[in-house]
Amino acid sequence: MMEISNGLAFVKRKMGARFSLFSKMNGLILILFIPIVIMYTYSNDVAFNVVSKELKLSNTRQLSFLSSQIDSRINQMVDFSNTFSKDPNVQRFNGLKIWEDRYDRMQTRFIVQEKMALQSGVINIWPVRYTVYSQQNKELISNYNNPAEYDEEFLKRNMSGKWTYGNGEAKADNEPSYFHWFYTESYGQQGKLNGSNLVIEASFSYENIQNMLDTYKSGGQGDPIFYHKGDAPITNRSADQQLSGELVSYLDEQSLEDTTQQVVKLHGENYLVSSVKSTYLGWHLVDVVPLDQILKPISITRNLFYVSMILLFVVGISASILLYRNVQRPIRQLIKGLQSVQRGDFSFRISSSVNNEFSFLFYRFNDMSRQIQDLIENVLNEKIRSREATLKQLQAQINPHFLYNCLGYIINMAQMKEQEAVVSMAYNLSAYYRYTTRTERQTAALDEEIKLLINYLDIQKLRNGRIDYTIDIPAEMMKQRIPPLMLQPIVENAVIHGIGKSYTSGEIRITGEMSDGLCKIYIDDDGPELESSVLEALNAKMSEPLKEEMGCGLWNTNQRIIHQFGDKSYLCFKKSPLGGFRTEIVWETASGEEQRPHPTLQGDTQHADDNRR
Residue 247 lies in a domain: yes
User: Rounded to the nearest 5°, which phi and psi values hold at 581?
Assistant: -120, 135
Which residues, in sequence order, are bridge partners of residue 525?
508
Domain span including residue 147? 85-208
Q: Are residues 19 and 155 in the same domain?
A: no
Q: Are residues 510 and 600 in the same domain?
A: yes
Residue 411 lies in a domain: no
Q: Are residues 601 and 486 in the same domain?
A: yes
Residue 602 confidence (pLDDT): 35
Q: Please tell me the distance from the alpha carbon of residue 607 to that of residue 449, in angstroms, as a whole number.
A: 17
Q: Please tell me the distance from the alpha carbon of residue 436 to that of residue 396, in angstroms, as a whole number.
A: 7
Residue 215 lies in a domain: no
10-residue mean pLDDT profile of the chain (613 residues): values are 56 52 76 84 82 83 89 90 88 73 83 85 77 88 84 84 79 76 70 76 90 86 88 89 89 89 85 90 90 77 85 83 75 79 76 71 80 79 66 53 77 82 84 74 86 88 87 92 86 84 85 92 91 88 67 73 84 91 89 41 33 29
Residue 19 lies in a domain: yes
Residue 513 lies in a domain: yes
Q: Are residues 474 and 601 in the same domain?
A: yes
The pTM for the full model equals 0.48
Q: Are residues 308 and 268 in the same domain?
A: no
Q: Are residues 515 and 550 in the same domain?
A: yes
Q: Are residues 474 and 595 in the same domain?
A: yes
Q: How many CB atoms lie within 10 A of CB 196?
A: 13
- Dump the DSSP string for 285-332: EEEEEEHHHHTHHHHHHHHHHHHHHHHHHHHHHHHHHHHIIIIIHHHH
Final residue before a domain boundary, out of 322, 342, 362: 342
Contacts with 370 (C-beta within 8 Å, 6 or more apart), sequence order: 346, 349
Q: 130 vs 77, 206, 523, CA distance in Å?
A: 9, 15, 131
Q: Please tell me the distance from the alpha carbon of residue 532 to that of residue 414, in angstroms, as a whole number.
A: 46
Residue 267 lies in a domain: yes
Burial group, residue 225, by CB count within 10 angstroms (0-12, 13-18, 19+): buried
Tell me how far the alpha carbon of residue 464 is from its chain's centroid.
74
Burial group, residue 9, by CB count within 10 angstroms (0-12, 13-18, 19+): exposed
Q: What is the DSSP letter of 274?
A: E
* Contact (CB, 8 A) for 250 and 264: yes
Q: Please tell me the distance from the alpha carbon of residue 377 to that of residue 599, in angstroms, as a whole number.
A: 12
Which residue spans within 115-169 are E strands per DSSP?
Answer: 129-134, 139-142, 164-165
Which residues, in sequence order, are bridge partners of residue 520?
513, 586
User: Rounded to the nearest 5°, which phi and psi values hold at 139?
Assistant: -135, 170
Q: Which of 347, 340, 334, 343 is nearest to 376 (CA)?
A: 347
CA atoms within 13 A on the CB side of 233: 27
* Contact (CB, 8 A) for 175 and 137: no
Q: Are residues 592 and 490 in the same domain?
A: yes
Final residue before a domain boundary, out of 179, 208, 237: 208
Q: Are residues 36 and 150 in the same domain?
A: no
Q: Please tell me the distance from the alpha carbon of residue 223 to that of residue 225, in angstroms, as a whole number.
A: 7
Q: Please tell me the distance from the alpha carbon of residue 368 to that of residue 347, in angstroms, as a whole number.
A: 11
CATH number at residue 179: 3.30.450
Tell me how far the alpha carbon of residue 400 is from its chain's centroid.
78
Q: Are residues 54 and 104 in the same domain?
A: no
Q: Are residues 40 and 143 in the same domain?
A: no
CATH number at residue 508: 3.30.565.10
Q: Are residues 250 and 264 in the same domain?
A: yes
Largest separation between any pair of C-alpha atoms in the chain: 193
Q: 4 vs 8, 343, 369, 422, 445, CA distance in Å?
A: 6, 11, 13, 65, 46
Residue 451 lies in a domain: no
* Contact (CB, 8 A) for 199 and 159: yes
* Contact (CB, 8 A) for 275 and 258: no
Q: How many domains is the chain partitioned into structurally?
A: 4
